Structure 1
C-alpha cells in the first residue's frame, strides 16, 4: 500500500505539469538541453557560470554544462555568459532569454534587450521598454523610450531625449531631466544636465554640481574632473573627486597623476605639489618638480633653479642648493660646482666625484658615467662605476646602457661613422663571441634581442649568449595599448603573442595582431579580423574586413564595406550599414553616415535618436548647438534637434566673443549664440573676433567693428592684446590666474 501511495504522489505532479503545459504550450519555457554526443570542436569556451559555459562553433553560439555531458546546441547568432541565473541570446526572432535549467522563455522575442541584473531585465516590447523577471513576466510595464539594467537598485530610463532613474517598483525616483547618465556605482551616478557633468546620489541630490565638461573614472578610486579651455580648444584643466563624489582637488591643474598608489601629484602653472588620497596637502605647491619617492620617504625637489632633497613632512633633508639631484637604489646623488656627491640613504657622503662629465642613475648597483670624447667635438665616452664610486670600466665606449640584474649591459662600438652594439659584463668581458649588432633591446628580464632589419637574434639576459633554440624568428613588443609587457612573435610567417616571462599567450597561427585595450586585442586570420579576450580566447570571431581598437566599451567594425558598432562581446550596437561612424565623445552621441542618404544620430546605447538627410553634421561637444548641411546649405539646430537657423549659409566659423562669422555666396556677416544675425551678410572680408573686436572689409574699405557691429578705432595696446589673444588660441595657452 505504501508503494502504491508513493506511485500516486509521483503521478500527481506529472498530471499537473502536463495540464499546465497544455495551458502554456505557446508561451511557456522550451527545453533546449540535449545530451552531448561525441567530442565536438568549439572555437571558444567561456567560463562556467551558473552551471553553463558559453561556447562557439564557427559564428554560432550555445552552451555546455559543467560536466560536459549536456549541451545547448550552438544555434544562436550571439549570446552572453550566464548571469543572475539567466543568459541573453539572439536568434532570427530577436533577443531571447535562457534560464539555468536550459529552458528558453518563448514569450520574449525582443528587438532590443539587456541581460538580467539584480533580478530584472530591460526589454523592448512594441516600441517601448519595460522590465521582466526570470519567469518572463512583465513586472515594470513598457512605457519608456529606452531602459538600461539595474545597478544598486536604480535603472536609467529614457523619456524622449532625457534620462532619469527608476526603482524596482518602476517608480521614477530621479526625474528624466538629464541629457546623459551613467549607471550608479558606490551610490554615485555621473549625469549631464545643461551640457555640464555633475554627480548625484541615489535620490538625485547633487554631490558635485553640474559644472564640468568631463567626469571620468580615474585610477581605481577616483573621478577626474575636466574643464574646457577655449584657448586650447580641449579639456585640459583638471580636478579630482573620490568615489563618493567628494571634491578632493578643484579644477585648476594642468596635470594630475597618482604616485605609488598613495600620493596625488598635481601641476599648476610651473609649480607642483603632493596630496594624500583624501585630498590633504602633503607637500604644498612651492616646487617646480619632484623626483621619485624613495622607500625611506625622501624625494628630490627643485625650486628656483636649484635642487635638494625633502621628506614627506616637507622638511629639507639636503639643502636646496645643488644643480641637480637623483635617487637610485641605495644611493643619492647631488651635483654642484662640477662635483658629483655620492651619498647613502642617510646622506652620508661616500665619495666626491670630479673626473666625470655626467653620472647617471644607478641600476643594479652600477651607474653609467661619461667624459668628453677628445676625438669627437660633439661626442662622449661612457664607462661604469659601482655603488662606492669605484670605476669598474673606464669611459671608452661611445654609447652605454644600464646594467641588468645579471650584470650584463649593452655598449656601443664605433664602426667608421656607425655605432654598433655589443654585450659585455661588469668585468668588461665581451659576450656572444664579441659580435656586434645593429640594435639590442631588452624584453622583460629574461630576453635580449637584436633587431637588424628583417634579421633577429635572441640572447639570454642571464648569460648574454645567443639562444640557438629560441622558437620564434621575430619579436615586436606592443608599442600601444594597456599591455606593454606583451610582444608579437613570428614563426613561419605567422604571428603569436608572448609575455615577458616568455609564456606563449597566443600560438603563432595568425596573420596580424594589434594592441590590447579594454580587455580585447585585435587579431587577423586570413582576410578577416576578430578579437581575443583577456584569457586569449577568440571572443569575437573572424568575420570583419576591418576593425578598430576598443577605446571605449564599443568599437567600429566593417563588413562588406559597411560600418557599424559592436560591444566587447560582439553584440551589434549600431547595424553595419554605414559608410562612416564618428564618435562625439563629449556628449556621447554617435553620427552614422549613410553616404548620399544622409546621417543618422545615435546615443551610446545604440538608440536611434534622429534619422536625417544631412550631407554634413558637426559635433555638439560641450555646446547646445551644432551646424549641419542640408541641400548644400548650412544651418544650426540645438541638442533637442530643434532648428535654430534654417540652412542658408555656405560656411561658418567658430564662436569667439559670442559671435561667429557666416558666409552666404560671396558675402559674410556675424551671428550670435542666440542665432540672430548681428552683422548683416554684406561683408567682403572678415576675421574671427578677439579681444572684443575684429577686422572686416566692406565696399573695398577695411576697418574694425565691435561685438555690436559698430565701427571702432582700436588703440595700439588693444591691437596688441588682440594679436596676443589670437596667438594664445594657436598655442593652447592656459591662464590659471583668473
Structure 2
C-alpha cells in the first residue's frame, strides 16, 4: 500500500498544531484507531485522545457543534475553531467559543443559510461558510435575524447586517429585533418598550409606538392586528391603520371578507375596510367553516359568510357538517365542500342548508350526515326507527326500520364487496333481527327482511341465507335458485354458477346458467370457493376467489390435475401432462414425470418441462431447479439466469440475485448480467449504503452497487462508517499488523496503528 496523502510529523505532536502537515510522506503512528461514526473517529496519538475528521486533515481534542452542510466546530488546545466538510479550517482555533448558525429546510430552500459566530475576550464576530470574515469580534452577541440578515448587539442595542457580505445596514439602536411573524420580509423592532415594524433596509414601515402586533389568521396577508393601551385595531400590510384600537379581540371570520370583533364581552362582525356589518351583540361566537355559530345566553343561531343571521338564536344546540359527514370546527377552505346545519330544540334535530333553508323538520331523535360508499346521505332516527334522506331532504328510505347500515360496506351480515360500481344504490335494512335489501335509486325493496345474511356474489347475483338454507337472487330481487337446505351456490360471474348439493346419492357439483340448465356436472368435483391463484399472476392481482381465468376453470376431481372446463361446460384436458395449473395471460405451470415447465393454451412449451421445481422469486421472477442447481426465469418463460448455480436468492427487494458457483458467491442483475463475479466467500449487500462488502480467503473489500470494486478484498478487517444515513466512508481496515483508514477513493488517511480502539479505551 502506497501512502499518497497528508500526514502529520511525529515530532511535536504534543502541541498537535493541526491541520496536519502536507510535507511528510509517511503516516503518523497512533496508539489506537477507532471506527468512524459520522464525521469523526476516536484516535489516540501520543497517549492523548483525539477526534480525527473524515478528511484526515484535522485532529480535534473535542467536537463542539455540528451544523448543516458539513460545518463542525471543535477544540484544539483549549481553543475553538471550525472546519468545513472537506476538512478545511474556516475559523482558526484561537477563539473562546464557536457556534454554527445554519438551517436546511428541504421544503423551503429559500430559508436556508449558514454562517459561523466566534467569540474572543467576551466579544463576538461572524464568518461565512468559506471562512470570510463578516463581522469582526467587537459585538456583545451575533445571531441570525432571517435567512438574509445577521443581527448584532453593541452597547445593549441591536442592529443588523447583510449575511452574504457583512455590510452593516442598521446601526445598533433597538432593544430587540426579530423576524416578524405577521408580515413576511419585515422586522419587528423594539425601543423604550414599544414595538414597530421595519424593512430590511432599515426604514420603518410603522412608527415604534405599538405594544404588539399579531396575526388573526388572515391568509391573504393583507391585514394584521396591532394593540395600543390593551385595545386592538387592524392595520394593512403597508402600515396604515384601517381601524382605531377599539376592540378587545379580533379574529378571522367565516369568510375572507369578514372579521369577528369583541367589545365589552360582546361579539360582532366588521368587513375588511373596518365597516360594522353586525354590531357586537353575541355572548359567544365560534367559526365553523364558512359559518359562525353564535350565542345569546343559552340559545344559539348561525351567521353566514356575508354576516347575515340565517338561523335565529332560538336553538339549544347546533352542529355544522360538510357534505362528507365531517363536523366543521374551524375556518376552512370551502373549495368543493357544501355545508349543512344540524339544529336541535328540546332534544329533537332537524337539517338546514347553509343559507338557513329547512331541509328536514326538527322532529328526529338523531340526525347525521354519513357516507355510504362515498355517497353522502342523511341518517334519521325517530322513535327508535331509522331511515335515510338525501342532502336535499328527499326521503330515500322511510323511517320504519330497526336498523340500517349506511356507513358500512362490508360485514358478516351484509357483504357487498362484489356488488359493482353502483353498490351505493343498495343498502341493507333490518327488522326483527332479519335483514333485507333496499334500492335507494329506485325507492323499492329488493329483498324483504327475511334473512340472516346477504352476500353479493357478483355484480348481478346475491346469495341469501336463513340459517342453513340458501338462495340465489338477481340484483332485481328475482329468486333463481333455492331455497336449498345445506349445499351452496357460488356464482363465477353473472351468467355462470357452481352448485353443490347433497342428496341420497351424496354430493353433486355442477356448472349451471341462471335458468338452471346444467352445463357440466361431476360428483367427484371438489370445488373450492377460494384459491391462492397461479404463481404466474402478479401479487397485486392475485385474487382469492375461484373463477375462470383465460376462459378456463380448473376442475379437481378423480385425482386428475389436468382437467378444465370452458364457459360452455365443455371439458378441456391436457393429456400430455399430469399437472396443469391455473392459466394466466395464456400460460400455466405444467408437469409430467416429476418435471415442470410452462405451457400455453396450445400445449406448446414456452419453458421446457424439464425442471424439478418452479417457485416464485419475488413478484416478477421464477426460481428454477434441476437437481442441486438453480436458475431464474421471467414469468413469460424467458430464462435469464441459466440453471447452473448451487444457490440463488433475491437480495432484499432489489433486482439483484446472489448466486453460488463452485462454493463461491457472486451477484447477477435482473438481466442475468454479472455484477459481482462468483469468486467471493461472502458478498453482503448494504441497502442503506448501497455497497457490497466482499470477503475472499478471509480478506475484505468493498464494491459499489454497480459492482465496481472500490476497495479490493485485501484486508483482514474492514469496518464501515457507523454514522447515520448512507455514510460508508472512511472505513477502518487492517492489513498485516497495521490498522488504517481508507477514503471513498480507496486512498489512506494519514494515520496508522497496530491497535484498534477497544470497548474500554
Tell me whether the two structures share a fold, i.e. TM-score over 0.5. no
Structure with the bigger RCO (C-alpha within 8 Å, sep 6+) is 2
Q: Could you say which structure has the larger radius of gyration?
A: 2
TM-score between the two structures when normalised by the length of structure 1? 0.39
Q: TM-score if structure 2 supplies the norm length?
A: 0.38
- Which structure: greater helix fraction? 1
